[in-house]
Chain A
Amino acid sequence: MTKYSLNILMVVSVILLLGMAHFRLIDNYIQMVAMTIGINIMMSTSLNLVNGNMGEFTCGHAAFMCVGAYISSVLSVFCFGSKFGDPLLPAASVLIVFPIILLIGGFVAALSSLLVSVPSFKTRDDYLAIISIAVNYMIISAIENMDFIGGSRGFQGMKDTVWAMIDIFDGPWMMFWVVSFMFMTVWVIRRFINSTYGKGVNAICQDEVAAEIMSVNTNKIKIINFMIAAGLAGCAGGLYAHIIGYVNPQSFNILKSTEAMVMVYLGGMGSLSGAIISAVIFTMLLEVLRSQAIIDGLLSPITLVFPDWEPSAGVIKWVMIPLLLVIVMQFRPEGIMGNRELSDVFPRLKKFYRFK
C-alpha cells in the first residue's frame, strides 16, 4: 500500500487545508499565502514548459496571466455581477460556470500566445526575448487604452461572483478552486511532457534541426506548447483576479514576468518538481521579506552607519530577489533541481507514489 502513500498524503493535506480554512482555524493571511503559493506554482510550472522544457527565453509570461485575468473578470461580472447591468446568469449556476469562465480566460490567453509562438519559428533566443517583452507591454498598453473595462484605473466587481458561491455554501471557495486548478495544471503538464508526443518539446530544445528531420512538426509543437503554457497562466490570472477582487494592468508587467522567471530558473529549467519547489520557497521568501522587522534586522549594519535611512520592506524585497537570482546564476546556475526531477534525485521516493 506504500505505492499510494504520496497520493493519500496529498489528498489528506488538501482536505486538512480546506477544513482549517473553512473552520477559520487558519486566518485570512495564511489562506492568502497558501493561495498565492498555488497560483505561483501554476505560473512557474507553466513558464517552465516554455523556458525550461523547450529552452526558449521568454520574459513576458505575465502577459498571458493578464489576458486570462481580464477575460475571466469581465465574463464573471457579466454573468454574476451588477456592474454591466443585471447579472446574465442565475446565481445558483455559479459553481459550474465559474470554472468554465476560468477556462475560457485560459483559452483566450492561449490564443494570445500566438503573438509570441509564431515569431519563435524564425527567431533565436535574444530576439524572442524582446518579442515576448514587447508583447507583454503591448497587452498592458492595449488594456490601459480600453476605458470600458477601466483602463489604467483597473477593473473590479468580481467579488460578486465569489459572494454568489458563498451564498450557496459558506466555505473557502477560492482556496478550493486554486487547489483544484493547481493540481490540474501539474497533472496536465506532467502527462503532456511525459508522453512521447510531449517529448517532442524536449527534442526541440536539445536539437531543433534533428527534431525537424526526425519527423517532429516543430512549428506545430511550438504553438501547442506555448498555448498550454499561456492557457494555464491565464487560468492562474483568472484565479488571482477573483481572489483580490480587483485587477490592474500594471500588476502584470515585467515585474510579474520576472517573478515567474526567478521561480523557473531557481528551480531548474525543465524540472517540474523544481518549479513547484521553487514556487513554494519563493512565495515564502517574499512573505518573509514583507516583514519590516526582518528587513530592518537584515539591514541593521547599514542603518547603523546611515541612521537617517528608513528602508521600506516593499522596496528592499525587490533588491534582494534579483540579488538572490544573481547569486544563483553565479554559483548554481542550473537551479535547485538542475534538469532532474525529485524522483531522479531520490529514487527511493518512487516507491511511494503512483501517478500515471
Chain B
Amino acid sequence: MAQSQTQPASAPILEIRGLTQQFGGLRAVSDFNVELHPGEMVGLIGPNGAGKTTIFNLTSGFYQPSEGEILVLGENTAGKKPHQVTSMGVARTFQNIRLWNEMSVLDNIRLAQHYQLGYGFFHAVFRSKHYKQREREVETKARELLEVFGLHDYAEELPKNLPYGTQRKLEIARALSSQPLLLLLDEPAAGLNSADAKELIRLIRWIHGHFNVTIWMIEHHMDVMMELCTRIKVIDFGETIAEGTPDEVRNHPAVIAAYLGDENI
C-alpha cells in the first residue's frame, strides 16, 4: 500500500483538548474536548451561562485558554489573535448581530476578505495596477456571494435598514466571505419567528452543501438544532454533560435535568 502524502480524509478540522477557562475565581469552561471532522454539522447546547459562547470565543481567539489546546487543521491557535485564527480558516457569527451599520452591505462583505487583500497603504494611495486588480476581484467575489444569498438588491443599502431576518442572513454571508473551512454560528436563530427559523434551517443546510464548510452551532431553538445537527454536545456550568445524536441527547437524563424548567425544550 503506497503511503499517501495527503492528509487522510477524516483528519479533524478542529480539535479541542482539555480546554479549561478560568476567569478569576470562576471556572467558565472545564475540560472541554471536541473533534470536528470536515463536513460535519455539530451542535453545542446548554442552559444560559453554561459557557458555550466562551468556548466559541476561545476557539476564535478572543481569549487565551487557561489550560488545554485548540488546534485548527492541526495547528495550535495559542497566542494567535482573532484575525489570525480567521485566516487559518475559522469564521463566526455573533449572538447579537454585529454588522457595520454605517457601511453598505457590499462593504460589509468585502471587508471580510481584508486579510486576503494583498496590498497595503502605498498601493492603495498610488492606485497601482495590483491594487486595481485586487479591488476588482474582491468586489466580484463579494457581489457573487450576495447574488448567491439573494441579497444583491441590497448591495448599496445600510444593514440597519434591513429587516432582522435579512440582517442575520447577511451576517452569515459575511462570515462566509472570508472563505472559512469552519463556520461557528452563535445562536443564528435568536430572535427569529418560526417561519424565519424554518427559512434559516433551509439556508444553513444549503450553505453546508454549497460551500462545503464544517459547521459548529450554538442554538437554543431545539427544532433548528435537531433538524440540522448530526451530533450534539451538551454542556452545563462549563462541563460536558452529554454527547451524541439528537435523539440520544433529547432523551438523556442529565440533559433533561439541566433544562428542567427551561422553556426551550
Whether A and B touch directly in their complex, counting CB atoms under 8 A apart, is answered as yes
Contact call B101/A196, Cβ cutoff below 8 A:
no
How many angstroms between the C-alpha atoms of A191 and B135 in the bound complex?
13
Instruction: Flag the segment in A169-177, A197-205, A320-328 that touches B.
Output: A197-205
With an 8 A cutoff between CB atoms, is B174 at the interface?
Answer: yes
In B36-63, the 8 Å CB interface with A consists of 60, 62
Please give, as numbers and ranges, the residues of chain A lying within 8 Å of B86 by CB-CB distance.
213-215
Contact call B92/A195, Cβ cutoff below 8 A:
no
Please give, as numbers and ranges, the residues of chain B lying within 8 Å of A188 by CB-CB distance.
125
With an 8 A cutoff between CB atoms, is A218 at the interface?
Answer: yes
Could you give, for residues 111-146 of chain B, a 1 whenever the CB lies within 8 Å of some chain A CB and a 0 otherwise?
111111101110011110001000100100000000
Please give, as numbers and ranges, the residues of chain B lying within 8 Å of A339 by CB-CB distance.
102
Please give, as numbers and ranges, the residues of chain B lying within 8 Å of A94 by CB-CB distance.
none
With an 8 A cutoff between CB atoms, is B83 at the interface?
Answer: yes
With an 8 A cutoff between CB atoms, is B239 at the interface?
Answer: no
How many angstroms between the C-alpha atoms of A76 and B252 in the bound complex?
80
Least CB separation from A212: chain B residue: B82
Please give, as numbers and ranges, the residues of chain B lying within 8 Å of A200 by CB-CB distance.
111, 114
Least CB separation from B120: chain A residue: A197
A-B pair number, CB within 8 angstroms: 99
Please give, as numbers and ranges, the residues of chain B lying within 8 Å of A213 by CB-CB distance.
60, 62, 82-83, 86, 91-92
The listed residue (A191, A216, A217, A219) touching B111 by CB distance below 8 A is A216
How many angstroms between the C-alpha atoms of A356 and B135 in the bound complex?
13
Could you give, for residues 218-240 of chain A, a 1 whenever the CB lies within 8 Å of some chain B CB and a 0 otherwise?
11000010001000000000000
Contact call A192/B138, Cβ cutoff below 8 A:
no
With an 8 A cutoff between CB atoms, is A209 at the interface?
Answer: yes
Q: Considering only CB atoms and an 8 Å cut-off, how many residues of chain B contact the other chain?
A: 39
Please give, as numbers and ranges, the residues of chain B lying within 8 Å of A207 by CB-CB distance.
98-100
Least CB separation from A217: chain B residue: B83
With an 8 A cutoff between CB atoms, is A206 at the interface?
Answer: yes
With an 8 A cutoff between CB atoms, is A20 at the interface?
Answer: no
The listed residue (B81, B121, B126, B178) touching A214 by CB distance below 8 A is B178
In the assembled complex, how far is the CB of residue B64 from the closest CB belonging to chain A, in whole angstroms? Answer: 14
Please give, as numbers and ranges, the residues of chain A lying within 8 Å of B91 by CB-CB distance.
213-214
How many angstroms between the C-alpha atoms of A188 and B175 in the bound complex?
30
Q: Which residues of A contact B (CB under 8 A)?
A: 187-188, 191-192, 195-200, 202-203, 206-207, 209-219, 224, 228, 339, 356
Q: Which residues of B contact A (CB under 8 A)?
A: 60, 62, 81-83, 86-87, 91-92, 94, 98-103, 107, 110-117, 119-121, 124-127, 131, 135, 138, 174-175, 177-178
Given pairs A210-B98, A215-B115, 18 additional interface contacts (CB within 8 A):
A191-B125, A191-B127, A196-B107, A197-B119, A199-B107, A203-B111, A206-B100, A206-B101, A210-B94, A212-B62, A213-B60, A213-B86, A214-B91, A216-B111, A216-B114, A219-B81, A228-B121, A356-B127
Show 12 residue pairs from A and B whose CB-CB distance is below 8 angstroms, ordered by the A residue. A192-B124, A196-B114, A196-B117, A196-B138, A197-B119, A210-B94, A212-B83, A214-B174, A215-B116, A215-B178, A216-B115, A356-B127
Q: Which 8 A-B pairs have the closest CB atoms?
A: A215-B115, A210-B98, A195-B124, A215-B86, A206-B100, A214-B112, A212-B82, A216-B114
